[in-house]
Amino acid sequence: VTFKVKNGGNLPHDFKICASNKGGTANTCKGTVTKMISPGQSATLKYTLKKAGKYEYLCTVPGHAAAGMKGVLKVT
Ligand SMILES: [Cu+2]
């Protein structure tokens, strides 16, 4: 899957898919991440979703995931 992510905010952000799922609670993780995306810019992230299940994602900028910039995507 290729994720296309656009930063529509006013601060730099990135988008990281975590290698393991902690149910959306992680604020940091090991995984695959885009470059830092400036406001108004876009990036793509290729990630092979090997099996059905839940995959956690977050923004790695310090404090962002803790503030809610994270989630879980479900592959069926
Ligand atoms: Cu962020």
Distance 22 CA to ligand 1 centre (A): 19
Distance 47 CA to ligand 1 centre (A): 20
pLDDT band at 75 (very low <50, low <70, confident <90, very high): very high
Distance 53 CA to ligand 1 centre (A): 24
Distance of CA 10 to the CA centre of its chain: 18
For 2-50, how does the pLDDT look when each residue is reduced to its tens digit (9 = 90+)?
999 999 999 999 999 999 999 889 999 999 999 999 999 999 999 999 8
Nearest to 58 by CA among 70, 46, 47, 43: 70
Distance 13 CA to ligand 1 centre (A): 4
Distance 64 CA to ligand 1 centre (A): 5
Q: What is the pTM of this model?
A: 0.94
Q: What is each CA distance from 47 to 4, 9, 14, 50, 63, in whole angstroms?
A: 11, 24, 15, 9, 24
Tell me the C-alpha distance between 48 and 63, whole Å: 27
